[in-house]
């Protein structure tokens, strides 16, 4: 058991007046952290900070303006493949202040908190954001790339998670975000971090483009390359249809979902997911079992189509791992989320090391004798083909739950193995670029941490040595 004794006045001076144990026992609250750098609250370094919102009367599909949600953001990464869309009219009328400009930042404030992406130049097209994303404009003295990088490093994340509130999902208010301590470093060091971001952003963009091309190739094979889902305000269905599907909600029967299903059925070969893979459920030990060190416990918030994000990583003990070892994923399996953000699929093409996934994640393994590449299947699961089926099945609640029976019934088109291999080849280039970006991301984070904990001189020496190993000039 951890015990901390704090002066009541110190807690009362906090604008949020926090009395919860998680805040009180935090090492930064107790003054246990010894830092070389000085700190200022985020509010002192920015000229504007707010959150976005979701427009009224939206369907998030039709429209010309890109719309960012928390599923689009991770550390210094903007996943354009997850963009939603709103109309230009909605953008013009409802986003007069929150408009992405040069040297601005989008930052998550819910679930995966303080995962930020900087815009160093004016975006080519307008971009809006929902209420779970904060919009920040730093002052000229603070570089957006440095600030976004700091929020993702260990020290920035520790401050963020100390100041979160635990609702149905972890959340940090815009007011609390504005009070976060930000380490002050020199303009020169900010420039080094900015250059690192430019390098990793180029790798990430190339990776995204390659992944989009692979998905477009898949859709082309199914004659869906130009398909645009349309939300219809009125349509007719038979009562027998509601009986057959045991659903009476109108959204489930939207024609756009039927169009996807019919396109799959027109392909030469297709199958239900449960017929081509074995599905294993994972285990949830509860937050009381979480530790600061130990065996990584992978939750849905750690999972993306490009890998396992170590941000906000929780851990379990060696003893508990031994009890749960049957839940250890193996090389070749696919991790698939079913709760909160259902339908995120990641193929374990190499040994994941010792990890335990949460109950919100399923382990899929292609059955013996089934002529389906796991890499190809992962592409299909992440594509519009399956995402629309999930939207139909899991929608309608505050937190989405994709039931295992629904997962098993999901339709999967099966292309000839030669075509599968061509698609997989495109994906391999995407993942190679993503791996390089991830390497530079960790380099940037550690460099910032060293500058704060020791000195900028030590950080520069570290970055120089590591960038030389990576054969990257910064």
Q: What is the pLDDT of residue 66?
A: 93
CB 352 within 8 A of CB 334: no
pLDDT at 213: 93
Contacts of 397 (CB under 8 A, 6+ apart): none
Structure tokens at 165: 């509130």
> In this structure, what token pair is assigned to residue 13?
């001076």
pLDDT tens for each residue of 291-333: 888 999 999 988 988 888 876 688 999 999 999 999 999 999 9
- The residue among 228 and 90 whose pLDDT is bigger is 90
Token duo for residue 421 = 């291999």
| Domains along the chain with CATH numbers | 1-34 (no CATH), 42-184 (3.90.220.20), 223-266+268-414 (3.90.220.20)
Residue-wise pLDDT for 50-83, tens only, equals 999 988 766 666 688 999 998 899 899 998 888 8
Share of the chain above pLDDT 90, in %: 60
Q: What is the pLDDT of residue 180?
A: 96
Q: What pLDDT score was predicted for residue 8?
A: 54
Per-residue 3-state assignment (H helix, E strand, C coil) for 147-181 = HHHHHHCHHHHHHHHHCCEECCCEECCHHHHHCCE
pLDDT at 30: 42
* Tens digits of residue pLDDT in 100-125: 999 999 999 988 899 999 999 999 99
**What pLDDT was estimated at residue 174?**
95
CA separation for the pair 454, 473 (Å, rounded): 23
**What pLDDT is recorded for position 31?**
45
Residues in the chain: 474
Cβ density class 288-309: b for 16+ within 10 Å, e for less: eeeeeebbbbbbbbbbbbbbbb
Record the pTM. 0.79
* pLDDT for residue 182 is more than 60: yes
Please write the tens of the pLDDT for every residue from 445-454: 999 999 999 9
The mean pLDDT of the chain is 87
CA–CA distance, 357 with 359 (Å, rounded to integer): 7
CA–CA distances in Å: residue 20 to residues 159, 175, 286, 411: 15, 18, 19, 47
* Cβ neighbour number for residue 232 with a 10 Å cutoff: 11
**pLDDT beyond 70 at 20:** no
State the Cα angle at 448 between 444 and 453, rounded to 5°.
145
Least confident of 39-43, 53-57, 142-146, 167-171: 167-171
Beta-carbon-side half-sphere exposure of residue 209 (alpha carbons within 13 Å): 7
pLDDT in tens, 375-403: 999 999 999 999 999 989 886 566 778 99
pLDDT of residue 256: 81
How many Cα atoms within 13 Å fall on the side-chain side of residue 194? 14
User: What are the pLDDT digits (tens) for 184-212?
Assistant: 999 999 999 999 999 999 999 999 999 99
**CA-to-CA distance for 409 and 407, rounded, in angstroms?**
6
Q: Model confidence over 21-32: pLDDT tens digits?
A: 555 555 555 444
């Amino acid at each position: 058991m951890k015990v901390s004794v704090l002066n009541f006045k110190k807690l009362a001076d906090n604008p949020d007046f926090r009395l919860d144990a998680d805040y009180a026992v935090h090492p930064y609250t107790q003054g246990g952290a010894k830092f070389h750098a000085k700190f200022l609250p985020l509010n002192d370094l920015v000229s504007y900070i707010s959150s976005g919102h979701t427009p009224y009367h939206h369907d998030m599909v039709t429209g010309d303006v890109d719309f960012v949600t928390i599923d689009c953001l991770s550390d210094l990464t903007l996943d354009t493949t997850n963009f939603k869309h709103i109309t230009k009219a909605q953008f013009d009328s409802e986003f007069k202040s929150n408009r992405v400009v040069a040297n601005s930042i989008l930052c998550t404030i819910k679930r995966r908190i303080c995962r930020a992406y900087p815009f160093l130049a004016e975006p080519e097209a307008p971009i809006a954001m929902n209420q779970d994303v904060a919009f920040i404009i730093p002052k000229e003295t603070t570089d957006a790339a440095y600030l976004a990088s700091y929020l993702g490093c260990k020290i920035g994340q520790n401050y963020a998670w100390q100041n979160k509130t635990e609702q149905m999902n972890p959340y940090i208010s815009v007011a609390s975000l504005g009070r976060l301590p930000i380490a002050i470093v020199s303009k020169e060091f900010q420039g080094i971090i900015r250059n690192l971001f430019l390098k990793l952003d180029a790798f990430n963009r190339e990776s995204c483009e390659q992944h989009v091309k692979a998905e477009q190739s898949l859709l082309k094979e199914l004659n869906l390359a130009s398909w645009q889902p349309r939300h219809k305000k009125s349509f007719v269905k038979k009562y027998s249809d509601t009986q057959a599907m045991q659903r009476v909600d109108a959204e489930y029967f939207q024609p756009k979902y039927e169009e996807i299903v019919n396109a799959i059925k027109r392909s030469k070969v297709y199958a239900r997911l449960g017929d081509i893979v074995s599905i294993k459920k994972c285990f949830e030990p509860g937050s009381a079992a979480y530790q600061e060190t130990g065996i990584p416990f992978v939750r849905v918030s750690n999972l993306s189509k490009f890998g396992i994000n170590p941000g906000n990583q929780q851990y379990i003990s060696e003893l508990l791992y031994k009890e749960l070892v049957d839940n250890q994923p193996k090389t070749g399996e696919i991790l698939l989320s079913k709760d909160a953000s259902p339908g995120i699929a990641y193929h374990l093409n190499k040994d994941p090391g010792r990890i335990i996934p949460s109950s919100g994640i399923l382990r899929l393994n292609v059955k013996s004798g089934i002529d389906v590449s796991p890499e190809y299947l992962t592409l299909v699961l992440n594509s519009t083909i399956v995402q629309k089926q999930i939207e139909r099945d899991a929608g309608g609640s505050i937190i989405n739950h994709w039931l295992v029976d629904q997962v098993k019934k999901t339709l999967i088109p099966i292309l000839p193995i030669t075509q599968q291999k061509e698609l997989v080849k495109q994906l391999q280039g995407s993942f190679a670029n993503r791996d390089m970006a991830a390497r530079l991301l960790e380099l940037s984070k550690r460099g910032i941490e060293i500058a704060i904990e020791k000195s900028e001189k030590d950080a520069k020496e570290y970055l120089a040595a590591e960038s030389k190993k990576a054969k990257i000039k910064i």
